[in-house]
Amino acid sequence: MTDIIGYILATVGILFDIFGCIGLVRFPDVYNRLQASTKCVTLGTILVLVGVAFIHGWGSISAKAIICAVFILITSPTAAHAIAKGAYASGVKLWENSVVDKYAKEVDKKEA
Amino acid sequence: MRRLIYFVLAFIVWVLLTWPFADGKIDFQVVIAGVIAAFLIAVLFHEILPKEHLVFISPVRVFWFLVYVPVFFYYVMKANLDVVYRALHPKMPIKPGIVKIKTNLKTESGITALANSITLTPGTLTVDLTDDGFLYIHWINVKSDDVEQATKFIARRFEWFLKKIFE
């Protein structure tokens, strides 16, 4: 029974990974792509790892999988945050159809 | 004190990663290597642990943390379905922009948790934060560029929990 749950979780996780990659290709600029990649790939990978933990039951492999899942959950949004800030700082523009950019003012203030 | 907590945490992670209990006996080589590694980490990097770490040892905070986990996962699932919908829709219904929101959280760990929660949930990505409690958020579907309104849409639902956990 836990096997089946594990395989379902892993499958759903891989599906999310695939959709995240499709978003990565289709979205127009760095920031939108980061949205797709961080959200879908974080959840997808965590689901795969939890699925592995379910399949193997209590033991060393599950412990490692869960630790990896927790680390991904903490580091992935932090990395996305750093990339977005870095992209903005190095002058990557928002997509031309973006509706608002309040951050531009803050950057001007810092430079002034 | 902080060094000791950090040592114990590092050692637990080491034990879980290397798992030195194969076939019923403990592999002392691995344990000793772990003690040395955890000791070095504790001495060199103890300053990373937040200053207000002792307040986390309280049942009320742990309880709210356990309540927060399923709520958080519900929003993460919603976020993913939302992004998948936008990625697969042929016309790509996105309306991106960077908005500014205000947070009432004061502690560093609380703001970190808020920024990470925002990044993992529906259509929002933290870009930067200022010292006076404002966060800049990249929003994939801007509903309002007003500070108050945007805060209501993005941050309120987490702030309430995070305040109970971290402050």
Q: How many helices (H) and strands (E) does chain A have?
A: 4, 0
Q: For chain B, where are the alpha helices, taking DSSP H only? A: 2-18, 28-45, 59-88, 108-120, 147-154, 156-166
Phi and psi (nearest 5°) for B97? Answer: 180, 165
β-bridge partners, B100 = B136
Closest partner residue to A100 among B77, B127, B145, by Cβ? B145
What mean pLDDT is predicted for residues A91-103?
A: 66
Residue A53 has pLDDT above 80, yes or no: yes
Whole-complex ipTM? 0.71
pLDDT of residue A34: 79
What mean pLDDT is predicted for residues A26-30?
A: 78
For chain A, what is the domain count? 1
- Burial of residue B72 (CB within 10 Å: 0-12, 13-18, 19+) is buried
Asked if the C-beta of A99 comes within 8 angstroms of chain B's C-beta atoms, the answer is yes
CA separation for the pair B135, B130 (Å, rounded):
6
Residue A78 has pLDDT above 60, yes or no: yes
The pTM of this model reads: 0.77
Asked if the C-beta of B133 comes within 8 angstroms of chain A's C-beta atoms, the answer is no
Closest partner residue to B80 among A39, A60, A84, by Cβ? A39
Q: Which residues in chain B come in under a pLDDT of 50?
A: none
Residue A111 has pLDDT above 60, yes or no: no
The percent of residues in chain A predicted with pLDDT above 70, rounded, is 81
Q: Determine which of A57-66, A96-105, B58-67, B158-167 has the lowest per-residue pLDDT on average.
A: A96-105
pLDDT of residue B80: 78
**What SS3 class is residue B20?**
coil
- For A17, the domain range is 2-111
Confidence of residue A108 (pLDDT cuts 50, 70, 90): low
A74 to chain B, minimum CA–CA distance in Å?
7
**Residue of B16, B88, B95, B125 for testing the chain A interface, max A β-carbons within 10 Å:** B125
Cβ distance of A31 and B127 shorter than 8 Å: yes
Residues of A in contact with B98 (CB under 8 A): 31, 94, 98, 100-104
Asked if the C-beta of B146 comes within 8 angstroms of chain A's C-beta atoms, the answer is no
- The answer to whether B166 and B104 are in contact (CB under 8 A) is no
Asked if the C-beta of B140 comes within 8 angstroms of chain A's C-beta atoms, the answer is yes
Q: B49 versus A85: which is more confidently predicted?
A: A85
- Burial of residue B112 (CB within 10 Å: 0-12, 13-18, 19+) is buried
Cβ distance of B99 and A80 shorter than 8 Å: no
pLDDT of residue B44: 82
